[in-house]
Amino acid sequence: MFYFCVMSTESIDVKNILGLKLPTDPRWVNLAELQLEEILTDHAYCEQKAATTCISLIQKNPEKEKMVFALSPIVTEEWGHFRQVLAELQKRKLKLGKQRKDQYVNKLLEFQKKGGSPDERFLDQMLTMALIEARSCERFKRLSEGLDDKYLRNFYRRFMESEAGHYTLFIELAETYIDKEIVRKRWKEWLAYEKKVIHEMEVRGDRIH
């Protein structure tokens, strides 16, 4: 059984949120608040990339009808989130900066199986997206609890609630086309790997991941 993002505003152990094995370092929220233009810029690009990745998955797998119809509204939702973050930047008279290299995502891509069967590659693509969505939801939760700015706390709570079920959707889609036991075994491997990635990454407040 996979966990959904918990909506309580109380601090809850991350192992009970999304199944992630390591919580975000508490210092991250304070650093993010000091670099608001940078964190909003990075957030905007994360939403943009989520939308374009879903489009790419649809283009590459048109025969997977359930996936196509499930991801189509996610494209619209993520692009809407991109516009919301842009509007927040504009309202605060901040600028959308340049897109940076996403070290976190690049590390996840390194764990994807190369040269395997089409099913293995598809599975790892689904689980990569599941992890990105899970970690994003966890980060939004931290911002919704830890920021001093009340408006921004509510801003990020809405993002957390909106995106809470996305990671489970990718797992469910994987299980639609691949044996559940294979999916769950690989998901455990991904969770262990992601813990290592988070542990080794520098804590920086200018990025969502």
- Residue 206 falls within a domain, yes or no? no
Q: b vs e for 167-180, b when ≥16 Cβ sit within 10 Å of the residue's Cβ? A: bbbbbbbbbebbee
The contacts of residue 22 (CB under 8 Å, 6+ apart) are 14, 194, 195, 198, 199
Q: Show the domain range for 99.
A: 30-200
The contacts of residue 119 (CB under 8 Å, 6+ apart) are 177, 178
The pLDDT tens digits along the chain (209 residues) read: 333 343 333 333 445 557 899 999 999 999 999 999 999 999 999 999 999 999 999 999 999 999 999 999 999 999 999 999 999 999 999 999 999 999 999 999 999 998 889 999 999 999 999 999 999 999 999 999 999 999 999 999 999 988 888 999 999 999 999 999 999 999 999 999 999 999 999 999 999 99
How far is the CA of 152 from the CAs of 41, 107, 176, in angstroms? 15, 29, 37
How far is the CA of 85 from the CAs of 55, 71, 95, 171, 204, in angstroms? 20, 21, 11, 27, 20
Q: What single-letter DSSP state applies at residue 157?
A: H
Environment class of residue 52 by beta-carbon count within 10 Å: exposed (0-12), middle (13-18) or buried (19+)?
A: middle
For the chain, report the end-to-end CA distance as a whole number of angstroms.
25
- Residue 20 falls within a domain, yes or no? no
The predicted structure's pLDDT at residue 17: 55
pTM value surpassing 0.85: yes
The predicted structure's pLDDT at residue 162: 85
Question: Hunting for tokens 């998901």 — which residue is that?
Answer: 187
- Residue 7 falls within a domain, yes or no? no
111's tokens:
């764990």
Environment class of residue 96 by beta-carbon count within 10 Å: exposed (0-12), middle (13-18) or buried (19+)?
A: middle
The predicted structure's pLDDT at residue 123: 97
Please give the tally of structural domains in the chain: 1
The predicted structure's pLDDT at residue 9: 34
- Residue 138 falls within a domain, yes or no? yes
What CATH number corresponds to the domain at position 101?
1.20.1260.10
- Residue 24 falls within a domain, yes or no? no
- Residue 120 falls within a domain, yes or no? yes
- Residue 87 falls within a domain, yes or no? yes
The predicted structure's pLDDT at residue 8: 36
- Residue 111 falls within a domain, yes or no? yes
